Structure 1
Amino acid sequence: MRRTAIAGLLLASATALAQTRPAGDALYQAWGGKAGIRAVMADFVPRLYADPRTAPFFKGVDREQLTAQLTEQLCEQAGGPCRYGGKPMKRAHEDLGISRRDFNALVEILQQAMEAKAIPFAAQNGMLARLAPMHRDIVSD
Structure 2
Amino acid sequence: MRRLRPVFPSLLALAVLAGCATRAAAPSTYDQLGGAAGVEAIVDGLLETIVDDDRINAQFANTDILRLRSKLIEQICAESDGPCTYTGLTMQESHAGRHIDDAQFNALVEDLIAAMTARGVPVAAQNRLLRRLAPMHGDIVTP
Structure 2 length normalisation: TM-score? Answer: 0.79
Taking structure 1 as reference, are residues 140 and 121 closer, same or farther at Cα in structure 2, changes over 3 Å only? same
Q: What one-letter code is carried by the residue in structure 1 that aligns with 2:121?
A: I
Question: Where do 5+ consecutive residues of structure 2 fail to align?
Answer: 1-25
Give distance in 1, aligned partners of 2:67 and 2:48.
Answer: 12
Higher relative contact order (CA 8 A, sep 6+): 1
Q: Structure 1: which 4+ aligned runs deviate by more than 3 Å?
A: none
Alignment of 1:1-141 (within 5 A): 26-141=28-143
Q: Give the secondary-structure state (helix, strand or coil) at the position aligned to 2:39.
A: helix
Contact 1:27–1:78 (8 Å) recurs in 2: yes
Give distance in 1, aligned partners of 2:68 and 2:89.
Answer: 12
Q: What one-letter code is carried by the residue in structure 1 that aligns with 2:30?
A: Y
C-alpha displacement at 1:28, in angstroms? 0.9
Higher gyration radius (CA): 2
Give distance in 2, aligned partners of 1:74 and 1:65.
Answer: 14
Q: How large is the RMSD of aligned CA atoms in angstroms?
A: 1.4
Q: What one-letter code is carried by the residue in structure 1 that aligns with 2:103?
A: R
C-alpha displacement at 1:25, in angstroms? 7.3
Q: Deviations over 1:61-115 (max 9, x none)?
A: 1222211110110000011111111110001101000001110111111111111
Q: How many residues align?
A: 118
